[in-house]
Amino acid sequence: MKLLTLNTHSLQEENYLQKLEQFVQTICQEKPDVVALQEVNQSVNAIVAEQKFLKGYVHCSNNEIPIRKDNHAAQVAFRLFENGITCSWTWISAKIGYGIYDEGMALLCLNGEIVQTDSFFISECQDYQYWKTRKVLGVQISGCKDWFYTVHMGWWKDEQEPFLAQWERFKSTLKQKHNATTVWLMGDFNSPAETQGQGYDAIKNSGWYDSYTIAEHKDKGTTVEGSIDGWKDDKHNEQKLKGMRMDYIWCNKILPIKYSEVLFNGIKQPKVSDHYGVCIETK
């Protein structure tokens, strides 16, 4: 099984359409079973998506925001179908981003139909207008008992929405699934692996396993370089922005991993976001 995660930055990216095409072409080549995306935006003023952009879409029951034409996940899925690759996909919006976007997250499944969805708040705040509101999205797919979640966490030192409180809510809500089946958490955790005693350690000490550390083959693992949103303030600048590993694929079980590879970092594939992607394959 192959899994891929990316904080897409989507509509906020310069040369967005070019990067969208580059991303889709890599997905066509890599053919991951599950793709977890964060910062999956659509313009609040865009027209509602035509039916052709909703092929393969599975509605998540507590998502009240309609899919609009420039929805990043819809555009990715549409282009995958145009390239002969079927996918089952879902999207939720968590909040208004930058005053002009419905900002959310998506999961695309290339080898199986989505049969169940799950979504809930991990932030204390549930105000759609507040930019620190956060939700997670999960799916279960046909022929597989595993659950897959796409995740975008807050910052450890955030005064209004600290990481640890969000993680405790997340962990508590997932307790039953954690004990019953295999669960994958994929996404941008805003917690560098290099910083001890913070978010990374909190997850690890809660019975989750970092696929990167387990992987038989791996690269440097860096998923963020330079100054990006949320890490420009000195109070968050502990790593001096020389490069951080903060995008992960966690599992609640120790499973054999063939490799963990960073994608979209300008080496094998062009950069398409302010984050790089992570791709793993299980044995």
**90 DSSP β-pair partners:** 107
Q: State the pLDDT at residue 238.
A: 54
Q: Which amino acid is at 15?
A: N
What are the respective helix, strand and coil percentages of the chain, to the nearest 5?
20, 30, 45
- For residue 241, what pLDDT is reported? 60
Which pLDDT belongs to residue 181?
Answer: 98
**Superfamily of segment(s) 2-282:** Endonuclease/exonuclease/phosphatase (3.60.10.10)
Residues 4 and 278 sit within 8 Å (Cβ to Cβ)? yes
Structure tokens at 243: 């490069």
Q: What is the pLDDT of residue 133?
A: 98
Output the pLDDT for position 237. Answer: 56
Side-chain-side CA neighbours of 277 within 13 Å: the count stands at: 29
Task: Retrieve residue 237's tokens.
Answer: 């600048």
Q: How far, in Å, CA of 140 to CA of 283, rounded?
A: 20
- The pLDDT, as a whole number, for residue 229 is 62
pLDDT at res. 114: 99
Predicted confidence (pLDDT) per residue in 108-117, tens digit: 999 999 999 9
pLDDT digits (tens, 9 = 90+) for 95-143: 999 999 999 999 999 999 999 999 999 999 999 999 999 999 999 999 9
For residue 150, report the phi and psi dihedrals to the nearest 5 degrees: -100, 135
Q: Which amino acid makes up residue 123?
A: S
- What is the per-residue pLDDT for 179? 95
State residue 43 phi and psi, 5-degree precision: -75, 130
State which amino acid sits at residue 227.
Answer: S
The sheet with strand 209-210 has its strands ordered as: 114-121, 135-141, 147-152, 183-188, 247-251, 209-210
Contacts of 75 (CB under 8 A, 6+ apart): 20, 53
Closest CA to 244 of 278, 201, 193: 193
Q: How far apart are CA 133 and CA 161, in angstroms?
A: 8
* Residue ranges in the chain modelled with pLDDT below 50: 234, 236, 240
Written as six digits, the tokens of 252 are 């609640």
pLDDT of residue 239: 56
Structure tokens at 224: 């963020």
Determine the angle formed by the axes of helices 16-30 and 72-82, rounding to 10 degrees.
50
Give the pLDDT confidence score for residue 233 in this predicted structure: 60
